[in-house]
Structure 1
Amino acid sequence: MTIGGLTAMSPVSFAEGPKDMNAQFDADLSSLAAFGILRSGGAGDEACGNWIGQRLEKAGFKIGEQAFSVPWFKAEQAVLSVGEATLPVWPQAVVTQPGPNGLVAPLGIYSTDDDRSRLADVIAVVDLPYARHSSLKQPNILNRIRAAEEAGAKAILLVTNGPTGDPLMLNAHAETPAAQVPICILGPSVAGPVFEAAARGDSARLMVRGQSGHRLARNIFGWRDGTGPVLVVSTPRSGWFTCIGERGPGIVSFLQLADSLPRLAGGRPVLMVATSGHEYENLGAAEFLSAKAPDPQGVELWLHLGAGFAARNWHEAAGTLAPLDSPDPQRFLLASEGLVPVLQQAFSKLSGLRAPYELDNTAAGEVGTIVRHGYNRVFGLLGAHRFHHSPNDDLRMTNGHFIAPVVAAIQNSLKELLP
C-alpha cells in the first residue's frame, strides 16, 4: 500500500477498548468521513454543521448559528508542466490565478539564503525544511515567501517536506493573499522532476484555473440553561480535506460530551460551539468570540477540543510508514495556571498529554485566541499528526480506541474542576 510518497506496511489490528463507547466513536467517525471535504462553507462543512446541530438538539440543547464570510476556490485545472511531466499542484488560499494561459518561466530553486539572488523572473521552488507544516504564517514559510516575492519571483511553489511526502495545505488569513504572485503547494513525492529541471535551468508552465469568490460559513452552537457561571466547550469542524485525524477526535469527543456534560456541570449553564473558518487562521472562533461568546467574567471554565489529539502514530523507517496501534504522542495539553495540577493527575497515563503546558497569550490555535480574549480558566488539547493537512487524512488515522481514554480523562478533570 502506498500513502503519499511512502510505502506503508500492512496495518496492525486495533486493540479492544470499552466496546460501547468505542463503537459509538467509530460510528461517528464514519459519519464524519461521509461528509467529504470540510472546507469552510462548502457542502461537507455545511452537512457536518447540520449533523452536529441535530445531535446537540437531541441532547437537549437550544440551537443557534452565526454566519460569516469566507473565501473559496474550486480548481478546474491546477498543474505544473515540466518537460514531458505534468504534475499536480494545490493552489494555496487565498488563491491568485496566473491568467487564462498560465505562466511560463524558468524554474529556480530556493533552498538557502544564497539562492535569493537567482529568483528574479522565475517560478521559485521553495524547498521547505522538514516539518509537520500547517500555516503560512509560520516564520520558516512566510519569510521565504516574502523573500521570493521581493527578489522578483513570478510564482512560488512550496515543497512541503514532511513525514508523508504529501502536499500539505497551509492555513492562511482570509483577507488577502500572502503574496501578489501565485502560490501553490507541491508534494515532495512528485517534486523530483521539478528539482532536476530547475538544476538545468529549464522552464515550466504553471496553470491554475478555477472559480472563486466568497460564501457564508456558519458557527453552530448549543445552549443549556442553568444557574451560575457558564461551562463552554468548543471545537473547530472545518479543514482543507476530509481531516479525520485532524478534526475527528475533537468532533466525536464534543458529541459525546454533549450527552455527559449536563451531569458534570453541576446545574451550571452549558454552551457548546463548533466553529467553521478554521483554515483561515481560526476565523470562526474569532467571529464567535467577538460577537457571541459570554463575558469572560461569566465563564467558569472553557474547554477547547483542538486538532489531532488522538490520531494514529506511525513508524518511519527506510522510506516507509508503518501504522501503529497507538496515538501519536506529538500532542499537547495547554491549561491556565491553576488547572495544571488537576490535569496532570487526570491525564497521567496519556503520552504527550501527561505534562500540561501553562497557557499564555502567545499560545497557537483557537485556544490562544480564547485566552487573548480574556478567559482565564481554560484548557485545551491539540496536536499535529503525520497526515495533518494532507489529502490522505482519512479513516485510517484515528479510531474509538484512541479517543476513549482522552474523553475519560476530560470527564475526570471536569469532575474535579467543577465542584
Structure 2
Amino acid sequence: MIKLSRRTVLGAAMAGAVPLPASATLGIQLRRDVATFAAFGEHRSGGEPARNAARWLAGRLGALGYQTQMDTFPVATFTDPWVKIAAGEKTFAGFVQWLPPRNQWPDILTGPLVDLTKGPSKPGCLALISQPAPFSAYWPERLNGVVAAASEAIAVILAVDDPLGGLFAYNRDATLPRLPVPVLIVEKAGMTVLKNAAEHDKSAAVRGAGSIQQADAFNVRATMTGTGRTIVLSTPLTGWFRCGAERGAGVAALIALGQMLSSTGRPIELIASGAHEIGHLGMQRAIANGAADPQKVAVWCHLGASLGATALDESGGPKSVHFMMANKLEQDALRTFADGLGLQRLPGTYSSPGEAGDVIRGHFENVIAFTGVFPGFHTPADDGRAIDSVRLESYCRFLGTHLPTYL
C-alpha cells in the first residue's frame, strides 16, 4: 500500500489536467477528464498508461481533500498483444485474446485458412470464426466449445460483429484455464478478406513479438472522514484499448461526485479498481481486504461501463443500450431517474454480472450500479467521443443529491 504525500498528490493533479476556471460548468469538467483519461493510451492492466492514469486520479482526488492510497498487486499482462496478419497482398492488424496458451508469442504462424461455417477445423490450419454483435463485454461460454473443437488448429481467428466494424476484444477471467489455442481478434473487414481467401484454399501468415510478463496493477482508494454511515463510490480503471467512453466516463464521474459529496459531512470512500478486464481482480481484492465494512456502509454506487455514452446514437447506425441495476429497485427516485434516461432496470442479485455482482456478493445492503454498451465499445475506436456530457452530468447531479439520502 503506497501513501501519497500532499506534494505528490498536487503534482499529479496538475499533470495532464488543465485547472478549470471558477465559472466552468460540470459538463466541461467531465469532458476534460474523459479526454485526459483517454489520452493516457491503452489502459490494459499492468501497462504504463494504466499506472499513469492511476497516479493522475489519485492526484485529482487528493487535491479535493481525500486521503489517497495506491494499492499495488501483481498481475500477468501482455507486453504487446498486437499482431499482423497477411493474406495474399492484404495485411491488417489483429489482437491476441486473453489468455493465450503460451507466454511467448511465436515470431510467425503460417497455415491454410479454414472457415468453420463451411467445414471442420484441420490440423495446422488457421480457423475462422464470426461472432454476432456483442451484448456483453465478457467472453461467451459458447465460444469455449467452438475453440475447443479447433484445438488442432495453430490459431483461431475471430471477428465480432461490432456495429462500427471494429476490432472487439472480450474480457476474460485470468483465473480461468488458458485458451487451448491462440485466439486472434480481427475487424469484420479483415475477416471478409480471410474468408474470401479460404474459399480459394489460400494460406495466411501471422506475425507477432509479444509476451506475457508479471507487472504491477493498481487500485486507487480515497477516503474522507465524517459522521454517519459511509457512502461508497467505485469504478473500474482498466480495460482493453483506450476505453475513453467505457472507462473514462466512470472515472470522470467519480471525480465529480467525490467533489460534490465532500461537503456532506459523511464518511466517503472512493475506489477505482485495476485488473478489471482480466477478472475483476482489483475489485475482488478491495472487498477481500476490507476496503469498506458492510455494516458501516449506507450505500455503494458502482459507476460501470459507458455512462452517458450516447453521442454516436444519432449516426444512423445501431443505438447504445444502458442499464441500471439495484438490489432495491422499488425506490421511486431510482425508478424515475432510470426511466427518464431510458435505462433498462435490472434487479441486483448474487448472480449479477460485472463488478456490481462482486459488490452485491460482498453483502452490502444498498447497491446501485450503472453500465451500458455503445457502438465502438471494447474497440480501439473508443477515444471518448461517444460521451454525451449533458447526459453524463445528469448522472452526477442525480447521484450527488440522491446518495446522501441513504442514512
Residue 302 of structure 1: aligned partner: 300
Counterpart code for 2:356: V
Q: What residue is the counterpart of 1:57 in the other structure? A: 62
Residue in 2 that maps onto 1:232: 232
Contact 1:91 1:208 in 2 (8 A): no
SS of corresponding position for 2:75: strand
Aligned amino acid, residue 293 of structure 2: D
Is the Cα contact below 8 Å between 1:29 and 1:399 reproduced in 2? no
Aligned equivalents of 1:58 and 1:172: distance in 2? 35
* 8 Å contact from structure 1 (residues 132, 388) kept in 2: no
Aligned residue identity for 2:110: V
Kept in 2: contact 1:347–1:409 (CA 8 A): no
Query: Structure 1 unaligned runs (5+)?
Result: 1-17
Alignment match, 1:11: none
Look up the match of 1:129: 132
- The number of equivalent residue pairs is 384
Taking structure 1 as reference, are residues 345 and 412 closer, same or farther at Cα in structure 2, changes over 3 Å only? farther
Contact 1:244 1:393 in 2 (8 A): yes
Q: How does 1:359-398 map to 2 (within 5 A)?
A: 359-398=348-387
Please list every run of 5 or more consecutive structure 2 residues that lacks an aligned counterpart in the other structure.
Answer: 1-22
Which residue of structure 1 aligns with residue 14 of structure 2?
none
Structure 1 residues 100 and 259, CA, compared in 2 at 3 Å: closer, same or farther?
closer
Q: Secondary structure in 1 aligned to 2:263?
A: helix
Residues 62-103 of structure 1, C-alpha deviations (whole Å, 9 max, x = no match): 112211112222338612221222221111222446864422
Contact 1:230 1:299 in 2 (8 A): yes
Q: For 1:305-345, what per-residue CA distance to the aligned partner results, in whole angstroms no more than 9, with x for missing partners? A: 000021134458xxxx5589xxx650100001266433012
The 1:80/1:329 distance shift into structure 2, 3 A limit, reads closer
Assess, with a 3 A threshold, how the Cα gap between structure 1 residues 122 and 50 changes in structure 2: closer, same or farther. same
Letter in 1 for 2:230: V
Which residue matches 2:336? 345
Which residue number corresponds to residue 173 of structure 2? Answer: 173
Q: Against the structure 1 CA distance between its residues 351 and 100, is the aligned structure 2 distance closer, same or farther, given a 3 Å change threshold?
A: closer
Aligned to 1:215: 215
Coordinate RMSD, CA, aligned? 2.4
- For 1:159-308, list aligned pairs within 5 A: 159-175=159-175, 178-264=178-264, 267-308=265-306
Structure 1 108/301 Cα, relative in aligned 2: closer, same or farther at 3 Å? same
2:115 is aligned to 109
Distance 1:413 1:146, change over 3 A: farther
Secondary structure class of the residue paired with 1:205: strand
Q: Which residue of 1 aligns with 2:72?
A: 67
CA contact (8 A) 1:302 1:377 kept: yes
Deviation sequence 1:173-222 (CA, Å, 0-9, x none): 22466413211101112222200111222222222222430101110111
| TM-score, structure 1 normalization | 0.85
Give yes or no for contact 1:24–1:400 (8 Å, CA) kept in 2. no
| Aligned-partner Cα distance in 2 for 1:384–1:142 | 23
Q: In the alignment, what sits opposite 2:12?
A: none
Contact 1:105/1:121 (8 A) holds in 2: yes
Greater shift in the superposed pair: 158-167 or 96-105: 96-105
C-alpha distance after superposition, 1:322-375 (max 9, x if no partner): 589xxx6501000012664330123442122xx532111111110011111222
Q: Distance between the aligned counterparts of 1:346 and 1:166, measured in 2? A: 32
Aligned partners of 1:228 and 1:269 also within 8 Å:
yes
Separation of aligned partners in 2, 1:158 and 1:38: 22
Aligned to 1:407: 396
Kindly indicate whether the alpha-carbon contact (under 8 Å) linking 2:101 and 2:178 is maintained by their aligned counterparts in 1: no
CA distance in 1, matches of 2:179, 2:389: 41
8 Å CA contact 1:313, 1:329 repeated in 2: no
What is the alpha-carbon distance in structure 1 between the residues aligned to residue 363 and residue 370 of structure 2?
19
TM-score (ref. length: structure 2)? 0.87
Does the 8 A contact of 1:336 with 1:359 survive in 2? yes
**CA-to-aligned-CA distance 1:138-165 (integer Å, 9 cap, x gap):** 223333223322xx22211111112011
Q: Which residue of 2 aligns with 1:13?
A: none
Secondary structure of the corresponding residue to residue 69 of structure 1: strand
Paired with 1:330 and 1:76, the residues of 2 have a C-alpha distance of 29
Looking at structure 1, the residues matched to 239 and 263 of structure 2 have their Cα atoms a distance apart, in angstroms, of 31
Does residue 330 (structure 1) correspond to residue 336 (structure 2)? The answer is no
> Contact (CA 8 Å) 1:219, 1:275: kept in 2 or not?
yes
Whole-Å Cα distance in 1 between the matches of residues 137 and 53 of structure 2?
22
Tell me how far apart the structure 2 counterparts of residues 396 and 77 of structure 1 sit (CA, whole Å). 23
Aligned counterpart, 1:147: 149
C-alpha contact (below 8 Å) 1:346/1:413 kept by paired residues: no
Q: 1:144 is matched by which residue type in structure 2?
A: V
State the AA in 1 paired with 2:126. I
Alignment check: 8 A CA contact 2:107 2:209 kept: no
- Distance in 2, matches of 1:231 and 1:143, equals 43
Q: Secondary structure at the match of 1:414?
A: helix
Would you say 1:88 and 2:88 are equivalent positions? no
